[in-house]
Amino acid sequence: MIGVGLLITIGLAFLFSPAKEKEKRLLIGIPDDAAGYIMRSLVEAGEANVQISTMLGIYPIKDCCTSTSEWALCTEKLDMAVICPDAAARFVEKNERYLILGPCMVNSDILLGNGSSTSKIGITQHRWYTRDAITRVWGSQVEVVPMLANALPYALEEGQVDAAVIDIGKALRLKWPRQALQEESDTISYVLVIRKELEKDDHLINFLQEYNQQVSKLEDEGCLQNLIEEYAGYTCTGKEAQEWKRMNARYLPLTIPATK
The three-point CA angle 114-179-244 to 5° equals: 140
Number of domains in the chain: 2
Q: For residues 172 and 110, give the distance between their C-alpha atoms in angstroms, rounded to a whole number.
A: 10
Q: Show which of 124, 146, 180 is a domain's final residue.
A: 180
Tell whether 6 is covered by a domain.
no
CATH of the domain at 163: 3.40.190.10
Confidence at residue 2, expressed as pLDDT on a 0 to 100 scale: 47
Domain co-membership, 122 together with 99: no
Confidence at residue 58, expressed as pLDDT on a 0 to 100 scale: 29
Query: Which residues, 6+ apart, have CB-to-CB distance to 73 below 8 Å?
Result: 29, 55, 64, 81, 83, 87, 91, 95
Q: Which domain holds residue 209?
A: 26-107+187-251
Domain co-membership, 128 together with 156: yes
Domain co-membership, 120 together with 150: yes
Domain co-membership, 133 together with 200: no
In tens digits, the chain (260 residues) has pLDDT values of 445 444 434 343 433 334 444 456 777 888 889 999 998 888 876 656 555 543 323 235 665 555 555 655 666 677 888 899 998 998 899 888 899 999 999 999 999 997 667 889 999 988 899 999 999 888 888 999 999 989 999 999 999 999 999 999 999 999 899 999 887 889 999 999 998 998 888 888 888 998 999 999 999 999 999 999 999 999 999 999 999 999 999 999 999 887 54
Tell whether 9 is covered by a domain.
no
Domain co-membership, 159 together with 116: yes
Domain co-membership, 34 together with 99: yes
